Structure 1
Amino acid sequence: MRKILIVGGGYAGFYTAKKLQKHLARGEAQVTVVDPLPYMTYQPFLPEVAAGSIEPRHAVVSHRRHLKKTTVITASVSKIDHAAKKVTVTPAVGDPWDVDYDTIVVTAGAITRTFPIPGLADEAIGLKNIEEAIAIRDRIADCFAKASNLPAGPERDRLLTFVVVGGGFAGIELFGELRSYASALLRHYKNLTIDDTHFHLVEAMGRIMPEVSLKTSHWVLKNLAQRAATVHLDTQLASAVNGKIELSTGESFESDTIMWTAGVMANPVMRNTDLPAEERGRLRVGADLRVISDAGVVPDAWGAGDVAAVPDLVPNQGVGGFTVPNAQHAVRQGKLLAKNLVADIRGEKPREYRHKNLGAVAGIGLYIGVFQSGPIALKGFLAWLAHRGYHGFAMPMWERKARVFGNWIINFLFRRDLVGIPARDTPRAAFETWAVRPKV
């Protein structure tokens, strides 16, 4: 049997493995997925997880539960040696080891891209995984609890000042959802008002959400302003040392909650491989998702998703001639990649990836959303319904869809769960405080 090794179990990797299980005949190939996490995260739901609208576990999909015909290794791939057809697998505990393969599929995804801004690495948090979304929710709930015990002043202002850096889809969705979450929290803190909270979004460009029309983006800006949320355009974060925010415009304020959503970059495994990469560090692939070099197709190597530079064959789509790094493309590339792998095994010709963007849809708070498909734009409640409908059904596996929709129904009946559990970061603190120790 041919040994197929999939590096990464995110959208593209998960769907590649899932569809291989469906299309491969018995004995045709042995499939292995290597990923440091035991689950796939549905990232479009991270803003709603951070805002308490979705239970965190419902936004992830277990590899082992749903890839039953696939060997799952929960570890990182630290090196890809395609010349020798082996990868080095590094687990969280234990020594690294090598895994041989016949065909490799690189779907390792992307990580948060940052810049050497003073204080950023020490003070900020990203929004790329479920753990970060949970931490943001707990942090905001904790800030409100602490601030309610303080008189008006700099200390309370710092606790109730929330900063998001990055005005793309992820940043705007997080910003809008958290503004909605904070408004819901205020109903339970009678000594705090909306004027006591301060929401700032920092965007280096002169506009937000480049995926939608300028008119739609202006509507979003107006909506956020009406909800007491400030957007700083043509502005860069200059420093965040000790939580003191300094902007390129000269403005300055303090915050205990700084969230960074300003872009992604290819998984670091691409720095330790002999597979070809383009100037941004992404894997070079052709439209049929086979890895290519200057000499042509690299045998037995494939790639898809955010880690790969996939040519966009649809006119006037993509950025720089490549598909944009989003879930819509990664899922469809994963499905096509599985079919192309099966075709390759059976001596058939692989198909090229071609997908016309269905449009952009975003939720920016409870009952508020935007939808853009060509010249057609929806705003407000109908767009919010479109957002929930699209992503609810796009969530992999029916048992996960049911949990998500069930979560939304319960929230509609009883309102969202506002409880934060900040102590989960230090679960042993209570035990350690009162534990009896041996007398010295």
Structure 2
Amino acid sequence: MSTTERPRILVVGGGYVGLYAARRILKKMRYGEATVTVVDPRSYMTYQPFLPEAAAGSISPRHVVVPLRRVLPKAEVLTGRVTTIDQDRKVATVAPLVGEAYELPFDYLVIAMGAVSRTFPIPGLAENGIGMKGVEEAIGLRNHVLEQLDKADSTTDEEIRRKALTFVFIGGGFAGAETVGEVEDMARDAAKYYPNVKREDMRFLLVDVADKILPEVGPKLGTWGKEHLESRGVEVYLKTGMNSCVDGHVVLNNDLEVDANTIVWTAGVKPNPALSRFGLPLGPRGHVDTAATLQVQGTDYIWAAGDNAQVPDLIGRKAGNENAWCPPNAQHALRQAKVLGDNVVSGMRGFPQKEYSHANKGAVAGLGLHKGVAMIVMGKTKIKLRGRLAWYMHRAYHGMAMPTFNRKIRVFADWTLGMFLKREVVSLGAMEHPREEFYEAAKPAPQAAAPTEKSDKTDEADKAAKGEKAKAS
């Protein structure tokens, strides 16, 4: 960490908002005007809409992440966590990956910590659930699913096979519906290479407490998405929750019980719990309360946006909804980050702040190769698409929204190769414990047992007997 006498703009979080806000500030700022410091536990930003495709092998996991130091060469990037913020002293406490925590002074603050998985105290969930918030989880899910096919193909125990080939997905929003669609697609392809596993042997369940899936694209497309998944053999249970999943025994509140080795949890997100330690004004659900300018209420040097912020939706409020808030999606995060970056520079120079206002442009979702739904909003007209055309819209939108030209090219290259080459279905399950095999080879051999007193006497008797035989001969 470098020391500087220039004003410091501290960006807490290197996700979508943090990355784009820092880039915007650096672009608008004059040379030497301020120091931009980004603090995040990871050294990269993850483009989360691509996690289902990464889990299915359609995109290389390396291509859905953006290294912060490469994209922000003029910024100070610190790998660690901001644990506390002292607003009176304008000092943040940073806990690095190794070593002791230290204090970092700042003049302007950007809160962009994003969200974490929203979980409930369900017995067995912490031990058996798999999330879908990070690229590590996407890689782990892919390896795990293929490993289950390996297990089922190599055993004759019917109970083990049934549990290995049962996959339960909790949550029917974008993350849940897209993940079950992509994973089912991958498992269907992979089954062609397993002589003892057929698609009919697998069981996929999608569970949600709501009365519909994919609410973001509207009721008609949501209904089509449900019917489409059911046509592929996915069991969809609505108005249903999970009571427990101890040891993989899933108990739903509709009296259905199944044994499954794979339980994927995508039942929504919540603001990062660390926000409660920062002394910021929070909304009823834990989001940072901001004005339309993205400034935190009651401050003139702190801004927040994205999944961890409660941002007024000015378009919705003009339409008569006084309680309209911007939904937590990539569409708003990208545009909020740009306005936030401009406002930070304006605030530093004493200029007026600009309000954030953006009309919803629609939503797109992929449900596997060549399958998807899309709702495009053009003024007062809503265009609803489904099937292959919607899938093309999904890929086009997110491909262009992927940060940096480098990553755009890599993602489109993955898709292009996928048109001509078959999907990879190899499991790299050993990645979970990569040193295990080396440890087994390198660990000390067990010591030989020390001879007992009885065995010593026996050895002496044998020697004596051999000596007597030699004399006799």
- The TM-score, its normalising length taken from structure 1, stands at 0.97
Residues 1:28 and 2:33 aligned together: yes
Letter in 2 for 1:206: D
Which secondary structure does the structure 2 equivalent of 1:362 belong to? strand
State the Cα deviation string for residues 283-306 of structure 1 (Å, max 9, x = none).
Answer: 1110000010xxxx3121111111
Letter in 2 for 1:312: D
| Greater fraction of residues in helix | 2
1:413 match: 420
State the Cα deviation string for residues 339-370 of structure 1 (Å, max 9, x = none).
Answer: 11111122211111111111110100011010
Deviation for aligned residue 1:434: 1.9
Structure-2 separation of matches of 1:76 and 1:5: 12
The match for 1:101 among 106, 111, 121 is 106
Deviation for aligned residue 1:311: 0.7
CA contact (8 A) 1:80 1:269 kept: no
Alignment of 1:370-381 (within 5 A): 370-374=373-377, 375-381=382-388
Residues 1:244 and 2:249 aligned together: yes
State the Cα deviation string for residues 43-100 of structure 1 (Å, max 9, x = none).
Answer: 0000001111110010000000010110000001111221221111112211111100
CA contact (8 A) 1:83 1:274 kept: no
Alpha-carbon spacing, 1:174–1:436, altered in 2? closer, same or farther (3 Å): closer
State the Cα deviation string for residues 99-148 of structure 1 (Å, max 9, x = none).
Answer: 00001110111111100111111110110011000000000010001110
Which secondary structure does the structure 2 equivalent of 1:191 belong to? coil
Which secondary structure does the structure 1 equivalent of 2:216 belong to? coil
For structure 1, which segment, 57-66 or 218-227, has the greater mean C-alpha deviation from structure 2 after superposition?
A: 218-227
Structure-1 separation of matches of 2:50 and 2:192: 24
Alignment of 1:288-437 (within 5 A): 288-292=293-297, 297-315=298-316, 320-374=323-377, 375-435=382-442, 437=444
State the Cα deviation string for residues 147-175 of structure 1 (Å, max 9, x = none).
Answer: 10123622101001111100111110001
Alignment of 1:78-227 (within 5 A): 78-151=83-156, 153-227=158-232
Alpha-carbon spacing, 1:263–1:318, altered in 2? closer, same or farther (3 Å): farther
Letter in 2 for 1:156: R
CA contact (8 A) 1:166 1:202 kept: yes
The runs of 5 or more residues in structure 2 that have no matched partner are 1-5, 448-473
Deviation for aligned residue 1:191: 2.0
Greater RCO (CA < 8 Å, at least 6 residues apart): 1
CA contact (8 A) 1:17 1:338 kept: yes
**RMSD of the TM alignment (CA)?**
1.4
State the Cα deviation string for residues 188-228 of structure 1 (Å, max 9, x = none).
Answer: 11222111000001100111111122111111111111111
Structure-2 separation of matches of 1:436 and 1:318: 66
Bigger radius of gyration among the two: 2
Structure-1 separation of matches of 2:54 and 2:196: 26
The match for 1:59 among 64, 76, 86 is 64
For structure 1, which segment, 369-378 or 235-244, has the greater mean C-alpha deviation from structure 2 after superposition?
A: 369-378
2:459 match: none
CA contact (8 A) 2:312 2:324 kept: yes
Structure-2 separation of matches of 1:175 and 1:318: 34
Letter in 1 for 2:341: A
Alpha-carbon spacing, 1:127–1:436, altered in 2? closer, same or farther (3 Å): closer
Letter in 2 for 1:93: V
Aligned length: 436
Alpha-carbon spacing, 1:151–1:108, altered in 2? closer, same or farther (3 Å): same
1:228 match: 233
Structure-2 separation of matches of 1:58 and 1:130: 10
Structure-2 separation of matches of 1:257 and 1:320: 39
1:261 match: 266
2:276 match: 271
Alpha-carbon spacing, 1:189–1:439, altered in 2? closer, same or farther (3 Å): closer
Structure-2 separation of matches of 1:282 and 1:319: 18
Structure-2 separation of matches of 1:5 and 1:221: 44
CA contact (8 A) 1:318 1:324 kept: no
Which secondary structure does the structure 2 equivalent of 1:207 belong to? coil
Structure-2 separation of matches of 1:215 and 1:3: 49
For structure 1, which segment, 76-85 or 171-180, has the greater mean C-alpha deviation from structure 2 after superposition?
A: 76-85
Letter in 1 for 2:434: P
Structure-1 separation of matches of 2:323 and 2:422: 43
Deviation for aligned residue 1:439: 6.0
- The TM-score, its normalising length taken from structure 2, stands at 0.90
The runs of 5 or more residues in structure 1 that have no matched partner are none
Letter in 2 for 1:426: H
For structure 1, which segment, 20-29 or 55-64, has the greater mean C-alpha deviation from structure 2 after superposition?
A: 20-29
Structure-1 separation of matches of 2:392 and 2:157: 38
Structure-2 separation of matches of 1:381 and 1:387: 10
Structure-2 separation of matches of 1:226 and 1:439: 57
Structure-1 separation of matches of 2:348 and 2:93: 25
